Structure 1
Amino acid sequence: MQTPLELAFKNVTPTDEIKALVQEKVDHLEQFADQITSCHVYIRAPHNSQKKGNLYEVTIEVRVPGDELVVHHQQNDTAEHEHLKVAVRDAFASMAREIKRWKQKIGGDVKTHDGPLQGKIVEIHHDQGYGQIIATDNRLVYFHKNSVVDGDFDQLQTRDTVELVVQTDESEIGPQASTVRPISALKYNPAG
């Protein structure tokens, strides 16, 4: 990025853990799209209300050549946003989708494929926060609990089917999923 990350908090105590999580998610966006020129992240919690818990709002503004992409997860979006890490994760997952659409739009990239990559969980370590998936293209793919969207990592079990996005840059441990989404049933069998 040409401009360093700007991170602002309102009614939220900024912790090193949350700052590190945001930086990790921004770094991931940069690997996904190197055209990002700046990123602004705003994390807000409303004042205490009569409702159950405080729900966090996360706004992400990403500037790319010729455009500005904005994701705003409001406090009433979902009950899971009582947890700041979940609200941050969901907002960055939405931004990754926005960047993907932007890249397809500017590149005239119209993909013709049968759908997202799918697989089955073959190993999961709830206590250590990671697992492995055998994908439909027969790759063994590592995933971290922070990559799970639309579901709860602790609810996942071996043999569960998922959709996944594999990072383009392979890590030292091999292919790694940037996004893992639980789905109902495997729709493609790589064995034929």
Structure 2
Amino acid sequence: MRQALHVRFQGMEESAALRAAAEERALKLEQFCADLTSCRVCIELDHKHSQQGRPFVVRIDLTFPGHELSVSHVQNEDAYVALRDAFDNMRRQLEDRIGRLRGQQKARAELGE
């Protein structure tokens, strides 16, 4: 990744373990796209649902040349589950986008462009 991973915590104390889990999952995304330019992760303790438990909300913004992908509002009462689900959603989006880009490149090559 060209820029360092940015992990931000809102409404909660910073957690080294959560930060490490986010870093590990961000590194795995580089297996699908080696030229990632940035990854921003926000882990927030939602205060809106105090009577029903307080879910963690995870948002991820990922950029690579010419593209920006976003996953927002993945919620779970377990921060690690919310983090896992958000990164799984991001991986699917990234795989889909890379597949479409490779398909376009292949189509151009077949046309002789």
Equivalent-residue separation in structure 1 for 2:101 and 2:87 (angstroms): 21
2:84 to 65, 89, 94: 89
- The reply on whether 1:43 has 2:43 as its aligned counterpart is yes
Partner of 1:56: 56
Secondary structure of the residue aligned to 2:43 is: strand
Partner of 1:7: helix, strand, or coil? Answer: strand
Quick one: percent identity of the two aligned structures?
A: 34
TM-score (norm 2): 0.85
Task: Report runs of 4+ in structure 1 exceeding 3 Å deviation.
Answer: none
Q: Secondary structure at the match of 2:63?
A: strand
How many residues end up aligned between the 2 structures?
104
Separation in structure 2 between the aligned mates of residue 100 and residue 48 of structure 1, nearest angstrom: 33
Aligned-residue CA RMSD in angstroms? 1.5
Aligned to 2:102: 107
Aligned with 1:35: secondary structure?
Answer: coil
**Which has the higher Rg, Structure 1 or Structure 2?**
1
1:73 deviates by 2.6
Q: Provide Cα deviations, 1:5-45, integer angstroms capped at 9, x if missing partner.
A: 01111012211110110000001111222121110001111
Structure 1: runs of 5+ lacking an equivalent: 76-80, 110-192
2:27: which partner in 1? 27
Greater RCO between the two (CA within 8 Å, min separation 6)?
Answer: 2
Task: Considering fraction of residues, name the structure with more helix.
Answer: 2
TM-score, length-scaled by structure 1: 0.51
* Structure 2 gap segments, 5+ residues each: 105-113
Q: Tell me, what secondary structure is at the counterpart of 2:25?
A: helix
User: 1:48 Cα shift?
Assistant: 6.2
1:13 and 2:13 matched: yes
My pick for the range that moved more, 46-55 or 59-68, is: 46-55
2 CA distance for matches of 1:10 and 1:61? 16
